[in-house]
Structure formats: C-alpha cells, structure tokens
Structure 1
Amino acid sequence: MSIAHHHPLIREALAQSLARRGEFTVASHGDVDEVLTWVRGGRRSVVLASRNLPGVGQLLSTLKGGEASSGGPGVPVALLGEAGAARPAAAGLPPGASGYLPEDADTSALSHAVHTLASGAAVLPASWIRHTGAAAIRAETREPGVPLPLSLREREVLVLLGRGLTNQQIGKRLGLGAGTVKSYISAVYTKCGVDNRVQAALFAHGIEVLAA
C-alpha cells in the first residue's frame, strides 16, 4: 500500500505505524508523480492520499480505471483528512475516491480499512452515512424487534473487537464462555448492521463500510 501525503511528518508517522503491524508493505510518497510511478511499477494495492495533496484529482482520475497500470484494474484510493470534515454525502466525494478516513484514526482502524478497500468496498466516517440517511435504510433491513442501542456488555464486546481481540481473548477479558461471546458478537453484528469482524472493528472506530 501507499501513503501519499504532502506533509512529511504525517506521512512518515502513518507509514511507520502501519508498517509496524506487519500486515503489508507500506510505501510513502510526497507527490502524485511518485505514487503513479509506484503503481506503474506493478503495485496494484491501496493508496491513502491526503485530500489536500497537490494534484490529488489527477491521481484519482488516473487510478480509477487502471490507466496507470497498463489498463488493469483500478487502484482504490481513500482520502485522508480532518476527522470533522463536513461532507455529508458519499456522492460528495471526488470521482474516483473509494472513501474518506480521518488521518488521526487509530492504526488498527486504518489497517482494517486498507483490507476493506482492497476487497472492493468503500469506507466512510459513520457520521457521514448517518447524515445521508443510509443508517436508517440499514436499520430497516435488521431483524424486527431488535433494539438498536447496544447494551453495556455489547459495547464492551464491540470495543474489544475494535482492538482486534479473538473470541477466546474477549471471553477471558470479560469472564464469559465461548458460546456467550458468540451470542454477544452476533447481537453486535445485528444492531450495528455489519456482517463480519472487520466491519465491526471499523464500526468501533467510527467508520462504516459501503458495499461496492
């Protein structure tokens, strides 16, 4: 994956934090030309680019359809910016962008987001989705009669999912049996409108997933 950011301190901090997780190779680039050269070298990964990177529009339009990689599949690009950026609709993202992430997001959340982007889904701050009414649509598809608010125990389970703990580790931390942990996780999935652990972990960090 590539971190593309015009500010060297932020760029290197993000790259080093993600690289330390050992889940993927992380390259860092200070301008659009460097990213495009990296992609043309055969890297079909994910790019996290600052929304204020000079030429970011060119980067999005070039990578969207795979033009930078000999006509191959497009490279997902998510924009990085301020956590409270006001852009209330997914449609408000620039063409070619696969999502938006706060640049001060927890490293584990960014890591989950990279894997999600690589799978072809989009990632957005949960507040954006709620503002567009998408959360209400998702709620209508949930099981009838299931209350949306999480119980205290369910919130504890969600937090631990966000930290990447396994079912066994969650059970040990909370003093619960394996079957009980599975039941709580199932309830968390239903109430949060997510389908798997990665989406639940992202939700715990205020990021929701939109299917491709």
Structure 2
Amino acid sequence: MIRVLLADDEAMVRAGVRAILAAAPDIEVVAEAGDGRQALELARAHRPDVVLLDIRMPVFDGLAAAEELRRAAPDVAVVMLTTFSEDEYISRALGSGVSGFLLKSGDPYELMAGIRAAHGGAAFLSPQIAHRLIQEVSGGRMSSQAAAKERIAVLSPREREVLALVGAGLSNAEIGERLFLVEGTVKAYVSHLLSRLNVRNRVQAAVLAYEAGIVSRE
C-alpha cells in the first residue's frame, strides 16, 4: 500500500483528490494538511511514502515544504500539484528534487500514475506540464529541440533508451524489465547519464527527453 500525505489549502481540492485516490486499491491517504508547515509536521508523524503538495499555499508554500522535506526526509517522494498559471513556481521547483508535477485539472489516471511512479523512484510529468516546462527552460526558442538533441548526442544508444524511458515515467525496475537489464545496472545508467547531461535529477532529465522528442507516446 502506498501511503500518501495530501497538502492543499483548498478543502474542495483535497476532497476531490481524496475521492479519486479512494478508487485506487494500492493507494491510501493517511493524512491531509492545509499548508506547508502542517504538511511537514504530519510527514514526521505519519512517515508517508509520497507527499502530494500544492505548489502554492499561504504562510508556508509547497516549494518551501518540498525543500525542507528533501532535507529532512530524502526517502519520501514529493509530487507537486500545480495549475497553468504558476510557471514561476514550476521553474523554481524544477531544481528542488521533486519527483513530478501533476496538473490539478488533469486526468485522474495521471494522478494515480504519478503517485505510483514517484513511489517507484521514477519521475512523472503531466504532458501539459512537460510542455510548459520545456517552454520555460528553452525560453520558447524554436531551436530548443535541436539544442536538446545536441545535448543528448553524447549518450550511448543504450543511455538514450534509458533516458527515453525515464522521460516516460518508468522506475528503474520497470526500465530493467523493458530493456532486460538488472535494476542495479539501470541505476548505474541513470546516474551516469544525469552526470553526462549535467542535470540534477530525474525530473530535469525527463524534461530534456521530452524536449529532444525521444519520449514514446505509447
């Protein structure tokens, strides 16, 4: 069972998310918070597997809470809930070590898939959020795809395969199954490609994979 802490300052949003997750047999909401400070307290008390954080909350927002959680509980996966109007917050969160970004108005399947991916050690981006992140990172330049392809040109064919599957939201175990590799080997590939691409985490790698156009839509 994947234990989830849900933090959002809007009670109706929390109710909607909770109702969606109630339909998932492998996900349990163990606590709810109305702000980032409360989320940190409840995370310490309940030790969830995944913390689902609204990216912008009053008093102590999701960005601050995510940064503190990554320091205090690095084994806890953090997934940010966002809207289209929060580009500045998304850009700041990109480097904070979160495991994914989910659109509040997105498909319920994406919500469950994102939580499962984060719990499995993978990165997950709602497709619309991936597109906005690419625009933000690239500054909207038409040459951004060419630049991304040039960046990944240093990778071996196998590393490119691994990067594409990271971008698709697969965990190391799932990548291993797809490519017939042991999980430890996949972990080494991921670590090496992050270093070669000079990206900080799997989310940044996933954005680059989307930008380069190598993520399968299957």
- Determine if the TM-score, normalized by the shorter chain, exceeds 0.5: yes
Match of 2:106 in 1: 105
Aligned pair partner of 2:32 in 21, 28, 33: 28
Separation of aligned partners in 1, 2:132 and 2:165 = 16
Instruction: Give the secondary structure class of the aligned counterpart of 1:65.
Output: helix
Question: TM-score normalized by structure 1?
Answer: 0.56
Does residue 64 of the first structure (1) align with residue 67 of the second (2)?
no
Match of 1:80 in 2: 81
Gaps of 5+ in 1: 67-71, 144-189, 200-207
Does residue 9 of the first structure (1) align with residue 39 of the second (2)?
no
1:161-180 correspondence to structure 2 within 5 Å: none
Gaps of 5+ in 2: 139-143, 171-201, 207-218
Separation of aligned partners in 2, 1:24 and 1:99 = 17
Do 1:5 and 1:50's aligned partners in 2 also have CA atoms closer than 8 Å? yes
Match of 1:194 in 2: 165
Do 2:6 and 2:14's aligned partners in 1 also have CA atoms closer than 8 Å? yes
Number of matched pairs: 153
Separation of aligned partners in 1, 2:156 and 2:89 = 23
Match of 2:124 in 1: 123
Over 3 Å counting, the alpha-carbon distance change for 1:15 and 1:88 in structure 2 is closer
Bigger radius of gyration: 1
Over 3 Å counting, the alpha-carbon distance change for 1:209 and 1:98 in structure 2 is closer
Post-superposition shift, 1:53? Answer: 1.3
Separation of aligned partners in 1, 2:89 and 2:7 = 24
Instruction: Give the secondary structure class of the aligned counterpart of 2:47.
Output: coil
Post-superposition shift, 1:87? Answer: 5.0
Over 3 Å counting, the alpha-carbon distance change for 1:17 and 1:82 in structure 2 is same
Question: TM-score normalized by structure 2?
Answer: 0.54
Deviations 1:67-124 (A, max 9, x none): xxxxx53422222111364359866636354332211111111111112222333333
1:36-47 correspondence to structure 2 within 5 Å: 36-47=40-51
Q: Runs of 4+ in structure 1 displaced over 6 angstroms?
A: none
Please give the root-mean-square deviation of Cα atoms over the aligned residues, in Å. 3.7
Separation of aligned partners in 2, 1:48 and 1:195 = 20
